[in-house]
Amino acid sequence: MKPKKLLIGLALAIAASVGLYLLMNARCYQLIGNLVCHGANDHKRIALTFDDAPSERTSDAVLAVLAEKNVKATFSMIGENMARHPQAAQRIAAAGHELGNHFYSHRRFLLRSQAFIAREIEDTNALIRAAGYHGPIHFRPPYGKKLLGLPWYLARHNITTVMWDSEPTRHQPPTGEAITAAALAQAHNGAIILLHPFCPDACRAEREALPHIIDGLHAQGYTLVTVSTLLTPKPESP
């Protein structure tokens, strides 16, 4: 009987591990608290979101494209990056974009204490406010990973987790053309698109794709908005 019990125990441990892994990486589910990975599908609106902002070297290039195309987007801000480049953060806020929280250190937070989570989020929120942003601050977990400790903190503080349902760089060749084609193919009402355009060299293709993604989405009839606007019900026409 002992070998059988060991096998059962091993099978249960494997099943639990797989379940926790799937839960941690689930885009559109967390155990507690409010999570969104897309908006309503009744209007042709899409939110562009950019992770790992700001960058002193590349933020202005992204801002220039958005200004030229008259588009507002949501920037997920890393606290350490804002502390190093406060003026870059201020320029994003001054341009009228939405700033979200992406942790202070961008560390994985599994098995972290509530005190660690609170410090990372609250220090980043303080820097977001210091940059001149006064709107709602949503949260996007680093690497999209969440299990229990982080959702528990967010739920207690009424903070919404914002994930995504379109990642045009995933499983694509690192070229602007491929990223653009994937973004347009994945477009749908209420989509939240994730891009990482700020690293100087590895993210160059995403910066090159950005104006073409915007033009292509506009050609398909979509309006590009911030996450908060996407999540706000649009009044029905009289």
For 50-78, the pLDDT digits (tens) are 999 999 999 999 999 999 999 999 999 99
By DSSP bridging, strand 35-36 and strand 161-162 are parallel
Band of residue 144 on the pLDDT scale cut at 50, 70, 90: confident
Strand-pair partners of 225: 47
Q: Which residue has the higher pLDDT, 5 or 137?
A: 137
Distance CA 36, CA 30 (A): 10
Confidence (pLDDT) at 8: 54
Mean pLDDT of the chain: 89
> Token pair of 212, please?
């073409």
pTM (predicted TM-score): 0.88
- List, in order of start, the domains of the chain with CATH numbers: 28-231 (3.20.20.370)
Please state, for a pLDDT cut of 70, what percent of the chain lies above it.
Answer: 86
- Give φ, ψ of 124 to 5 degrees: -70, -40
Helix (H) / strand (E) containing 36 = strand 35-36
Confidence (pLDDT) at 26: 60
Residue 23: pLDDT over 50 = no
50 touches 196 (CB < 8 A): yes
Nearest to 228 by CA among 75, 117, 59: 75
Residue 124: pLDDT over 70 = yes
Contacts of 75 (CB under 8 A, 6+ apart): 49, 50, 53, 54, 92, 97, 98, 99, 100
